[in-house]
C-alpha cells in the first residue's frame, strides 16, 4: 500500500498548537515537533473501533497494549522487559518533571547537555532543584558530548543526568561508544540516567540507535528509558508514553513521586499506541523515505541558497538546527516569521542568540514554499 505524504488536511480550527499560533496570518508553521501528515490508516481504524465501543471509563493499560510494547522493545531495541518494568505515562514532559521530583532534592542538581529540547531545562526549575548545563561541541562528525566538561560539571550534589538520544535539536544518533561512556559516567557518579528516546524510530541514516536499556547487571546505571509513539507516528495529541525502569527501587521512587499528580493514559492513547506498534511499520518505512528526501533537500538548499546560514547533517528526527549568525539578523525567529515562516527560536534550547530549529515533517511542497520564503527574505550579495 502506498501512503500519502504529499498532502495534509487543513489543520486550522482543529486546536492544533502548531497552526493556531499563526491563525489568520500567512505564516507557515515549521516549529513545534509534530508532523503535517495524516496518521497511518491502521491507527485511524483502531481509534475508530475504540470509539465505536462507546464506553470510555477509567482505563488501565490493556494486556494487548503491554504485549505490543514488550514486543516492540524486544524487536527494535533487543531489550527483554517485563510488564511491571513498564510505567505508562501521559507524556514524556511530565515524566521529565517527575524524574526531577523523584530523584533530586532541593539543593541538589540535574545535569544535561545543551542545546536541548526546552523542557529538559525547565523541569529542574519547576521542581525547585538546580540545573547544570554542559555545551555539546560541533565537530566534523556532528555534535559531540564533551566528557571532560561533564567531569568538571558533576559535583557531590548532582543526582540525575538527562540524555536526549537521538538528539533534539541537533539530529545526532549518538554512537554506541558515547552511550556506553554516558552509562559509565552515570554509574561512577551514582547518577540516575534519564534516556529520552522519543526520536529513536526516526533514524534517517543507517546508523544504529543505542538504547539506555542496552546496559544490564553490573554495567547498568539506574536508568529511566523513555519511549512514545507520539513523534514517530504523529500521535502527540493522544498523550501516551511508556517508560522502562528496570531497577525496582528506582521504579517505586519514580511512581511514588507521580502518585496523585499524573493522570492515567486515556483509552485512545492506548489504542493508538498499540495500533502503531503492531501495524504502523509499513507506513513508517514510507515516512522515513519522505523525511530523508526532505532532509536532503533542506541541506542542499541551505548550502546553496541561504547565505550566512549553516546547518548540520540530520541523522535522525525531522528537525534541523540552523546557525543563522552569519546573516547578521538580530532576531531571526521574528525576522523569518515576518517573512512568512514560523521557526523555533534557539534561545529556549539553551543556545546563544542566532540559532533556529526548523521542522521538516511536512509535505515536500510545504517545505519548498518555506525555504523559498526564507531565501527571498535574506539579502543576497
Ligand X SMILES: Cc1ncc(COP(=O)(O)O)c(C=O)c1O
User: Stretches 19-27, 85-93, 104-112, 308-316: which one binds ligand X (CB under 6 A)?
Assistant: 85-93
Cα distance between residue 255 and residue 102, in whole Å? 8
The DSSP code for 193 is E
- The residue number with the shortest CB distance to ligand X is 91
As measured in angstroms, the least distance from the Cβ of 152 to ligand X is 25
Secondary structure (H, E, C), 210-253:
CCHHHCCHHHCCCEEEEECCCCCCCCHHHCCEEEECCCHHHHHH
User: Stretches 89-97, 154-162, 182-190, 350-358: which one binds ligand X (CB under 6 A)?
Assistant: 89-97
Residues paired with residue 358 on neighbouring β-strands, in sequence order: 320
362 binds ligand X (CB under 6 A): no
Please pick, from the candidates 66, 241, 275, 287, the single residue that binds ligand X as defined by CB under 6 A.
Answer: 241
- Judge whether 209 and 224 are in contact, CB under 8 Å: no
Of 81, 83, 288, 80, the C-alpha closest to 200 is: 288
The DSSP code for 166 is S
Cα distance between residue 50 and residue 46, in whole Å? 6
Q: Which residue has the cell 517508560?
A: 243
164 binds ligand X (CB under 6 A): yes
| # residues contacting ligand X (CB under 6 A) | 13
As measured in angstroms, the least distance from the Cβ of 2 to ligand X is 28
33 binds ligand X (CB under 6 A): yes
As measured in angstroms, the least distance from the Cβ of 241 to ligand X is 5
Please pick, from the candidates 37, 117, 312, 335, the single residue that binds ligand X as defined by CB under 6 A.
Answer: 117
Cα distance between residue 287 and residue 331, in whole Å? 33
Please pick, from the candidates 93, 154, 257, 324, the single residue that binds ligand X as defined by CB under 6 A.
Answer: 93
Please pick, from the candidates 97, 223, 230, 359, the single residue that binds ligand X as defined by CB under 6 A.
Answer: 230
How many residues are listed for the chain in this entry?
A: 381
100 binds ligand X (CB under 6 A): no
Which of positions 181-200 make contact with ligand X (CB under 6 A)? 196, 198
As measured in angstroms, the least distance from the Cβ of 327 to ligand X is 26
Which of positions 286-325 make contact with ligand X (CB under 6 A)? none
Of 312, 308, 316, 238, the C-alpha closest to 277 is: 238
Interface contacts to ligand X, rule CB under 6 A: 33, 91-93, 117, 164, 168, 196, 198, 228, 230, 236, 241
Amino acid at each position: 500500500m502506498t501512503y500519502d505524504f504529499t498532502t495534509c488536511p487543513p489543520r486550522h480550527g482543529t486546536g492544533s498548537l502548531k497552526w493556531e499560533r499563526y491563525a489568520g496570518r500567512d505564516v507557515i508553521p515549521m516549529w513545534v515537533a509534530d508532523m503535517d501528515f495524516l496518521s497511518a490508516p491502521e491507527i485511524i481504524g483502531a481509534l475508530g473501533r475504540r470509539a465505536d465501543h462507546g464506553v470510555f471509563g477509567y482505563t488501565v493499560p490493556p494486556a494487548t497494549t503491554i504485549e505490543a510494547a514488550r514486543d516492540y522493545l524486544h524487536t527494535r531495541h533487543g531489550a527483554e522487559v517485563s510488564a511491571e518494568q513498564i510505567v505508562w505515562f501521559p507524556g514524556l514532559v511530565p515524566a521529565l518533571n517527575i524524574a526531577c521530583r523523584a530523584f533530586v532534592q532541593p539543593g541538589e542538581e540535574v545535569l544535561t547537555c545543551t542545546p536541548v529540547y526546552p523542557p529538559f531545562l525547565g523541569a529542574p526549575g519547576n521542581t525547585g532543584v538546580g540545573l547544570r548545563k554542559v555545551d555539546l561541541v560541533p565537530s566534523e562528525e556532528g555534535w559531540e558530548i564533551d566528557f571532560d566538561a561533564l567531569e568538571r560539571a558533576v559535583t557531590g550534589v548532582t543526582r540525575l543526568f538527562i540524555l536526549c538520544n537521538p538528539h533534539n535539536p541537533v539530529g545526532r544518533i549518538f554512537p554506541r561508544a558515547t552511550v556506553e561512556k554516558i552509562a559509565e559516567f552515570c554509574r561512577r557518579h551514582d547518577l540516575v540516567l534519564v534516556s529520552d528516546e522519543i526520536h529513536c524510530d526516526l533514524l534517517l541514516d543507517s546508523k544504529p540507535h543505542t538504547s539506555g536499556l542496552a546496559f544490564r547487571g553490573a554495567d547498568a546505571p539506574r536508568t529511566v528509558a523513555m519511549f512514545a509513539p507520539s513523534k514517530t507516528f504523529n500521535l502527540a495529541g493522544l498523550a501516551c508514553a511508556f517508560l522502562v525502569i528496570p531497577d525496582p527501587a528506582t521504579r517505586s521512587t519514580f511512581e511514588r513521586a507521580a502518585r496523585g499528580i499524573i493522570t492515567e493514559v486515556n483509552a485512545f492513547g492506548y489504542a493508538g499506541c498499540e495500533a502503531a506498534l503492531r501495524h504502523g511499520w509499513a507506513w513508517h518505512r514510507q515516512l522515513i523515505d519522505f523525511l530523508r528526501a526532505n532532509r536532503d533537500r533542506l541541506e542542499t538548499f541551505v548550502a546553496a541558497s541561504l547565505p550566512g546560514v549553516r546547518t548540520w547533517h540530520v541523522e535522525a528526527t525531522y528537525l534541523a538546527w540552523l546557525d543563522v549568525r552569519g546573516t547578521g539578523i538580530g532576531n531571526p525567529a521574528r525576522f523569518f516569521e515576518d517573512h512568512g515562516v514560523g521557526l523555533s527560536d534557539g534561545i529556549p534550547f539553551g543556545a546563544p542568540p542566532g540559532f533556529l530549529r526548523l521542522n521538516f515533517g511536512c509535505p515536500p511542497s510545504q517545505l519548498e514554499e518555506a525555504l523559498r520564503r526564507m531565501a527571498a527574505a535574506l539579502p543576497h550579495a
